[in-house]
Amino acid sequence: MRIVSLMPSATQTLVLLHASGDLVACSHDCRADARLPRLTSQPTGRGAYSLVSEWLVRDIDPAGHPLYTLDTDRLASLKPDLVIFSSDLLDPGVVHAAAHHRSAETGLAPTLLDLQPRTIEDIFDDVLRIGQACGRTAAAEALTVQLRARMYEAQEYVASFEPRRPVVALLEWTSPLVLAGHWRVQMIERAGGEHPWNPTVPAHGAGAAAGPQQAQRRAGPPISTSPLSISHARPDSVVIAVPGASLEQAGALADLLLAEPWFADLPAVRRGQAAVVDGRMFHEPGPNLVDACDWLVGWVQDRPHLLGGVSWRPL
C-alpha cells in the first residue's frame, strides 16, 4: 500500500502501527524519515510555527485560508492508495482533485481519510480509523487499548469529588491571549483541574456526564481573552502550550509574557506554578496526547514522576 500522511499525528500513528514503511510522502510538519517527500508548506507570510500544525486559527477564524498549501502535482504523481489529511488544515477540494488524478488514469480511486477530531475520544477513534484504512485493524485496536489504559491509570491519582478543583489557565497563544479549547479542556478536567473560561458541557441527555460518563462532555473551540479575565479568575497554575511550537520557541514567547506586569503578578506565577511546554504534545491529536495527559495529572496533582513524557520548564 502507498500511503500519504498530511498530518503529523497520523504519521506518528502509522509509525506505532508499524506501517511507516508504506509511507511515500508526508507533510512538512511530520517528524518522519528525512528522505520522504514533503508535500505541504506554510503559506507565505506566516511565521515559522505561527498557529500551524493545529486547529487554532481555523476555530477562531473559520473563514480563513487553509493553513497548509499542497503540492498537488507531486501528490498526483505518487499515485497513493491512501491519503490521510484534515480539512482543518487543507482545502478538501484541492486534496480530492489531486488524489483522484490517479483514478482518471487507472480507474482506481484512492481512499481519502479526512480526520477532524475535537475530543479525546475522537482521537482514539481516529487511531482505529487509520488502522482500518491501512490494513492494520488488530494493531490499531491493541494500541487504542494501551493508550486508554495509560490515561485511566494516570487518572487514578485524581480525586473525583474534590469540593474545589484548582483553576488551570492553559494559554495556547500569547498575543493575543488565547485560552484552551476542545480536547485540551477535557485534559485539564480529567487531570482534576478546572478551566472556567471554556468548560466542558455535557451532551444533551447525558445528565451530569461525570465519572465513567466523562466522554459525554465536550468543550468549544479556543477563545480569545484579556489579561483582566485571567487575573480575575486567579488561576492556581498556568501552562503555556503554543501549537506547533517546540519548547524553545514557546519559551521565547513565554518570556515576553513574563515581562508584562499583569502576568508576573499572577499568584500562580509568583508561587512558581507556571510552566511552558512543548505545545506539539498537547495539540497534535495522536498517541503523544497520552504523554501530555500524564504530564497534566502530574502537574495538577503534584506527582513529579508523571512529568517525564513532555519537554517543559518552569517560568
Least confident segment among 138-147, 239-248, 287-296: 239-248
With CA atoms as reference, report the closest residue to 308 among 284, 286, 292. Answer: 292
Residue 202 — pLDDT band, cuts 50, 70, 90? confident
Which residues on neighbouring strands pair with residue 38, listed in sequence order? 26
Are 85 and 184 in the same domain?
Answer: no
More confident residue, 303 or 161: 303
Strand 3-5 with 23-26, pairing: parallel
Last residue of a domain, one of 62, 86, 116: 116
Are 178 and 51 in the same domain?
Answer: no
Q: Flag whether pLDDT at 89 surpasses 90.
A: no
Domains contained in the chain, number: 2
Q: Flag whether pLDDT at 203 surpasses 90.
A: no
- At 34, list the grid cell: 528525512
User: In Å, what is the CA distance from 302 to each residue of 273, 307, 308?
Assistant: 11, 9, 13
Are 189 and 291 in the same domain?
Answer: yes
Are 104 and 49 in the same domain?
Answer: yes
Most confident of 92-96, 122-126, 217-221: 122-126
Please give the backbone phi and psi of residue 194, each rounded to the nearest 5 degrees, phi first: -130, 140
Percent of the chain scoring above 90 in pLDDT: 70
Residue-wise pLDDT tens digits, 258-298: 999 999 999 999 999 999 999 999 999 999 999 999 999 99
Residue 63 lies in a domain: yes
Are 77 and 194 in the same domain?
Answer: no
With CA atoms as reference, report the closest residue to 183 among 147, 219, 216. Answer: 219
Q: What is the pLDDT of residue 17?
A: 97
Residue 268 three-state SS: helix
Residue 72 lies in a domain: yes
Mean pLDDT of 235-264: 93
Residue 35 lies in a domain: yes
Q: Flag whether pLDDT at 192 surpasses 80.
A: yes
Q: Which domain holds residue 277?
A: 162-200+214-314
Residue 132 lies in a domain: no
pTM reported for the whole predicted model: 0.90
CB–CB of 228/245 below 8 Å? no
Residue 127 lies in a domain: no
Q: What is the pLDDT of residue 55?
A: 43
Q: What is the pLDDT of residue 209?
A: 62
Last residue of a domain, one of 116, 150, 175: 116
Are 111 and 170 in the same domain?
Answer: no
Are 33 and 168 in the same domain?
Answer: no
Are 52 and 180 in the same domain?
Answer: no
CB–CB of 269/238 below 8 Å? yes
Residue 181 — pLDDT band, cuts 50, 70, 90? very high
Residue 140 lies in a domain: no
Q: Flag whether pLDDT at 204 surpasses 60.
A: yes
Q: What is the pLDDT of residue 106?
A: 64
Task: Tell me the CATH number at 88.
Answer: 3.40.50
Q: What is the pLDDT of residue 50?
A: 46
Residue 36 lies in a domain: yes
Mean pLDDT of 16-36: 93
Are 108 and 12 in the same domain?
Answer: yes
Q: What is the pLDDT of residue 51?
A: 43
Q: How far apart are CA 297 and CA 307, in angstroms?
A: 8
Q: What is the pLDDT of residue 185?
A: 97
Residue-wise pLDDT tens digits, 30-73: 988 889 999 998 765 444 444 443 445 445 455 556 678 899 99
Q: What is the pLDDT of residue 4?
A: 96
Are 105 and 172 in the same domain?
Answer: no
Task: Tell me the CATH number at 267.
Answer: 3.40.50.1980
Q: What is the pLDDT of residue 48?
A: 42
Are 233 and 177 in the same domain?
Answer: yes
Mean pLDDT of 1-16: 95
DSSP-derived letter for residue 223 is: E
Q: How far apart are CA 279 and CA 311, in angstroms?
A: 9
Are 15 and 81 in the same domain?
Answer: yes
Residue 144 lies in a domain: no
CB–CB of 23/5 below 8 Å? yes
Last residue of a domain, one of 56, 86, 116: 116
